[in-house]
Amino acid sequence: MYNLFQRSAHSSEDANSWERLFGKLMTPIEAFTRNTSASGILLIVCTLAALLIANSPWGGAYQHLLHTPLAVSFAGHTLEMPLHHWVNDGLMTLFFFLVGLEIKHEIMVGELSSPSQAALPIIAAFGGMVAPALVYSAINWGGPGMQGWGIPMATDIAFAIAVLILLGKRAPPGLVTILVALAIADDLGAVVVIALFYTAEIHVAPLLAAFACFVLQLAMNRFGIRKLWPFLLVAIVMWVLMLYSGVHATIAGVLGALATPVRRLYNPEEFSREARKLLDKFDIYRLREHDFLESEKLVGVLHTLHNGINQAQAPLQRFEHALHDPVYFVIIPLFAFFNAGVTINAASLANLVSHPVSLGVAAGLVIGKFIGVFSAVWLSVRLGIGRLPQGVNFRHICGMGLLAGIGFTMSIFISELAFKGEDLLLNNAKIAILVASIIASLAGYAWLRLCSNGDNHS
């Protein structure tokens, strides 16, 4: 018995040391939700920091930081923008590139890859976009804030997933899956809305040149180029051209994602065979030479294996994995810090319940999203177009509809486009987004927790 316990302890220690070295074995959706929920917490911290600073004696310094000019020169050409625009038009392009990769991945092999799988989240996303836009438009029809109809259409995946993770096992895995798919389909709709309805005056020549860059990326994909740097160089040129075209520069990120290769160089059989040969060499070398610092052969085997692992993955997978942490842990928190610093006072709080823009945004996110998502899912299931995942019922869909009202990142982004140069309307919209997102988070959490308690008692 002692030996059995000892062996078990050693195997447990081996497993723990293995996980410390390689990380816990997780499915892509588990890794995605785990990292995304952590970034949601960081997003909250940066949002609170921006609000506190903007409403403190350092508010003037905060505004000065936003408008600090930054210039980049190359070959006699200079591009100068305030830091605020570099974050929104530059860094957020990488966010949209990642969004495009996630959309493409889901369409190729994920929850949106087959009509039966895609029907429910796509219909839910469609309902969750149309209903909030209608609610907002009804409140602002004919008014100066009418152009903000797209603000309550989007769902913030980081915040929504963070709430579900807080629920733990109370949220069925199927609900997490459908919410991720819904948010990705929702992002696709938001990209289309931005491209079609929030575009400034179009300049044809740079737009055609940007499109030529996109075609070049497609050709590079077709002819088997798998290195990152050629795509990156063309992407930078396409971004600059898109910036001058009048179409929002972040669309270049989505186009770049659509051109990203999905074919890998090695098939699984080749990779398995070559990897085993390398591991056999590693075992031979490690018996002869124990010190990695002194053994070039051991290091060479590890480098070769590392390169092989990269080649065995599609570039889309490599880029998606490489960008996830920088985007969710650096770029989106920076975006929150540079955009969430709104001035909150008695007048702005009064506007929340009286100004059409504030009312439209808040009602669109909290009420419109819930009605749109729930009614779309209910109708699609009743008509036999879609089906609920295992373990998910309509009470869970109610909670998902509430969480879909968390519109933080994309809603603030669209508000910046809709009310550019209109500080009062922009401030009202941002405050409404923050308040509505808090209400949606608390309501969704409370409802799903109550549902789980009801399921336990039944």
Report the C-alpha gap between 215 and 195 in whole angstroms.
Answer: 18
Q: Which pLDDT band holds residue 11 (cuts at 50, 70, 90)?
A: very low
The 3-state DSSP class for residue 421 equals coil
Q: Which residue has the tokens 């004696």?
A: 57
> Which pLDDT score is estimated for 440?
94
> Which pLDDT score is estimated for 352?
79
Q: Which CA distances in Å does 148 have to 198, 226, 267, 430?
A: 10, 41, 48, 11
Ordered domains of the chain (ranges, CATH): 36-199+248-263+314-453 (1.20.1530.10), 266-311 (no CATH)
Asked whether residue 6 carries a pLDDT value surpassing 60, the answer given is no
Q: Which pLDDT band holds residue 96 (cuts at 50, 70, 90)?
A: confident
> Which pLDDT score is estimated for 128?
93
Q: Which CA distances in Å does 373 have to 132, 175, 203?
A: 10, 13, 37
Q: Which CA distances in Å does 158 have to 154, 162, 403?
A: 12, 6, 11
Beta bridge partners of 74: 77
Q: Which alpha helices (DSSP H) does 70-111 contain, by range?
A: 83-85, 92-109
Longest dimension (CA), the chain: 81
Tell me if 182 sits within 8 A of 386, measured CB to CB: no
- Residue-wise pLDDT tens digits, 122-175: 899 999 999 999 999 999 999 999 999 999 998 887 778 778 777 777 778 788
For residues 104-127, average pLDDT: 80
Tell me if 419 sits within 8 A of 358, measured CB to CB: no
- What tokens were used for 172? 């069925």
Asked whether residue 301 carries a pLDDT value surpassing 70, the answer given is no
> Which pLDDT score is estimated for 328?
84
> Which pLDDT score is estimated for 214?
93
Q: Above pLDDT 70, what percent of the chain?
A: 80
Question: Could you tell me which residue, 310 or 320, shows the higher pLDDT?
Answer: 320
- Residue-wise pLDDT tens digits, 50-86: 999 999 999 899 999 998 998 888 777 778 888 988 9
Q: What share of the chain is helix, strand, coil (3-state, %, to 5)?
A: 75, 5, 20
Instruction: Kindly report the average pLDDT of the chain as a whole number.
Output: 81
Query: DSSP state, 388?
Result: P
> Which pLDDT score is estimated for 290?
61
The 3-state DSSP class for residue 70 equals strand
- What tokens were used for 367? 């009420």
**Which string of DSSP letters, residue by residue, matches 270-295?**
HHHHHHHHHHHHHHHHHHH---TTT-
